[in-house]
Structure 1
């Protein structure tokens, strides 16, 4: 059996042990600790890492916990990003997803990043407000 097949089987078994909603992962179970990492959350479909960023901003790095052909599976719908933000305790805060200039694109994994803001932005739709 190839290494990649064993990894995918192990991951599928681990996913089956997870809950449907996000649950915090205790720090002693984090496989690594990059700079700024302060929380890790997991459910059957997703892994969410929370990082401290400058200016009171937090970054949620979201990846599907399914691998296909050695890569993280793609396809994280907006509604699920909003739900994941809510489930890790940031439902009351605004978050943005950035689309950089072509010269600054870094695309090394099927991962999404939400920057959770310390205050609402000056732009954005608000319920009950006419534009």
Structure 2
């Protein structure tokens, strides 16, 4: 896989992780800063952030700082005794749901859905294991 594709997909996954729920909102209504989260609201416990729990981090600010200095999600999980497999599973689930939504809306065909869904886990694994320097 070439580096441009890895960078593009990695950036896309991180962006979707941070703002996945924000994209479903109207562009006219502002998203309140206090209630916005980097993960979907479809968690078992409304007060518990699944990504932060899997990374074993206490705040979104900690995650932001670690990503800003170029750490990968795998590195962050390893440093904090987090569960990397849970992180991958969570991101694959989120992206699978987005693909299902796109298929239901008719923006992709069944063949496109199957092709993209087949490579989701590999793409997430590569992206979450890659460190990105923000020069």
TM (normalized to structure 1)? 0.23
Q: Which has the larger radius of gyration?
A: 1
TM (normalized to structure 2)? 0.23
Between 1 and 2, higher relative CO (CA 8 Å, sep ≥ 6) is seen in 2
* Structure with the higher strand share, 1 or 2: 1
